[in-house]
Structure 1
Amino acid sequence: MLKLFPYLLFLFVFHCTTVGFHETKVRESISFGPEANFRVCILKETDITKEETETLFLAWNEELALYNLKAEPILLDVIERPGFWGTDILGYLMNRQLTKGCDRLLYLKGRTWGDIGFEVLTLGIFVGVGLKLEVQGAVEGQTNTRGYIKAKYISTIQFLFTSPKSTLIHEGYHLLGCGHQLFMKECYEKIRNVKLLLTDPNRDPNFFPVITTTGKKILFPPNFQTNFNKY
């Protein structure tokens, strides 16, 4: 147990940037099958540029290449934020239909004066009592098909813990059904099993399936109510 303490401490402090530690030998022993694409439909705020979106997906696809996967970004709309809190965004996403041509729905959150004020407040709380209150992204845990990330930020406390790229990679694992674990063997197996569902004759052939964090197979575009997996 003492040998695991540094890892447990790392996860406690840096839990916002990882779903677990990579195990290269374990991953390389698993066959992830041929390359497959899935379509990620994007709702973004006005201050998120095309270049920023492309940079985020480039980083995510570098990670996904480990599993012969590629996320294809599809811009649905540029919108005003439906509410200040992450729960407002998730509630909005859960009320949106996962339309044909969308395997996942991702909201890219920008940065307003209200956000800056909240960053200053949370920085003070972190310095004062060591409590990190900011949530950089979340994925609902009922179907693992909808989520958001904070795609633009510049404060010191944010970059101390994470970045927009690492946030997308983290939430991207949740969008594939992975939960949080110390090591990633279970996540690797989940991704392999999701890709095996591509050959399931009972699935919607126009939908990239998912096995949720609770083990439920989603073979058709889902519509649902609340439950999130956030950090």
Structure 2
Amino acid sequence: MLQQFPYHFFLLFFLFECTTIGFHEKKVREGMVFGEESQFRVCLITEPDITKKEISELFAAWNEELSFYQLKALPVELAVMERPGFWGTDILGYLMEHQLTKDCDRLLYLKGRTWGDIVFEVLTLGIFVGVGLKLEVQGAVEGQTNTRGYIKAKYTSTIQMLFTSPKSTLIHEGYHLLGCGHQLFMKECYEKIRDVKLLLTDPNRDPNFFPVITTRGKKILSRDKFLIRLRED
């Protein structure tokens, strides 16, 4: 039993890392000042089987989490379309080619559930049961600007529901959209969100854009600088 412990501990840690951004530190968070409530607009590209009710429930859960930081995410339904490709990299590639409009501070793609997804879920469940390797990815945010991402917004497979949900996936990726990376404890993430909110008073900020400090520490204060940043990368 003792010899098996490291493997199971690693497996549980891996699953934890896939479903949350880090452990909350309530005392640390409550000791920080996040200022007045601010809002940012999240433009949505959804697949045809995603309903308005599901969108509303997803954002209600996310905004409950964001209330810790006096923040609120406002969904802006931009388009309904078929998936640009099966893999998450296909979706992120499509989003990186999609320019943020003046009504968008972040861009989020909501994946539905196709027959191809169901087959892949069964396959990955077999691999997980057989060797303990979890291959399915529930969401991701690109690392260049932390302004674009996707989540799997509809699923029912056993392995998915055991460890995560569309709501928890959105909360997880939502932290990435605010510039947070992965960490064991969330003090660094709290500081990142606080610093992003402080940028709201920066005189160089585009008043029509909610800023971001990327995971790499780059400050993006306007869409013009954002586009320059994309070209540089």
Query: Which category describes the TM-score, using the shorter chain as reference length?
Result: over 0.9
Whether the aligned pair in 2 keeps the contact of 1:91 and 1:226 (CA below 8 Å) is no
For structure 1, list consecutive stretches of 5 or more residues without a partner in the other structure. Answer: none
Whether the aligned pair in 2 keeps the contact of 1:63 and 1:169 (CA below 8 Å) is yes
Query: Which residue of structure 2 lines up, in the alignment, with residue 214 of structure 1?
Result: 216
Residue 11 of structure 1 and its aligned partner are, at CA, apart by 3.2
In the alignment, structure 1 residue 181 sits paired with structure 2 residue 183:
yes
Residue 225 of structure 1 and its aligned partner are, at CA, apart by 7.0
Query: Which residue of structure 1 lines up, in the alignment, with residue 94 of structure 2?
Result: 92
Query: Which residue of structure 2 lines up, in the alignment, with residue 18 of structure 1?
Result: 20
Deviations 1:10-35 (A, max 9, x none): 43232111111000000000000000
Query: Which residue of structure 2 lines up, in the alignment, with residue 127 of structure 1?
Result: 129
Q: Would you say how many aligned residue pairs link Structure 1 and Structure 2?
A: 223
Residue 220 of structure 1 and its aligned partner are, at CA, apart by 1.2
Please state whether the residue corresponding to 2:108 is helix, strand or coil: strand
What TM-score do you get using the length of structure 2 for normalisation?
0.92
Which of 155, 159, 167 matches 2:169? 167
In the alignment, structure 1 residue 30 sits paired with structure 2 residue 41:
no
Distance in 2 between the 1:76 and 1:123 partners?
Answer: 33
Distance in 2 between the 1:188 and 1:66 partners?
Answer: 10
Cα gap change, 1:8 to 1:115, in 2 (>3 Å):
closer
Matches within 5 A, 1:57-206: 57-206=59-208
Write the letter of the residue equivalent to 2:36. P
Deviations 1:111-131 (A, max 9, x none): 000000000000010011100
Residue 93 of structure 1 and its aligned partner are, at CA, apart by 0.2
Distance in 2 between the 1:117 and 1:86 partners?
Answer: 16
Write the letter of the residue equivalent to 1:86. G
What TM-score do you get using the length of structure 1 for normalisation?
0.93
Q: Which runs of 4+ in 1 moved over 6 A?
A: 5-9
Distance in 2 between the 1:46 and 1:175 partners?
Answer: 24
Distance in 2 between the 1:100 and 1:169 partners?
Answer: 24
Please state whether the residue corresponding to 1:42 is helix, strand or coil: strand
Whether the aligned pair in 1 keeps the contact of 2:11 and 2:132 (CA below 8 Å) is no
| Residues 215-224 or 118-127, more deviating | 215-224
Whether the aligned pair in 2 keeps the contact of 1:144 and 1:174 (CA below 8 Å) is yes
Identity of aligned residues (%): 78
Please state whether the residue corresponding to 1:118 is helix, strand or coil: helix
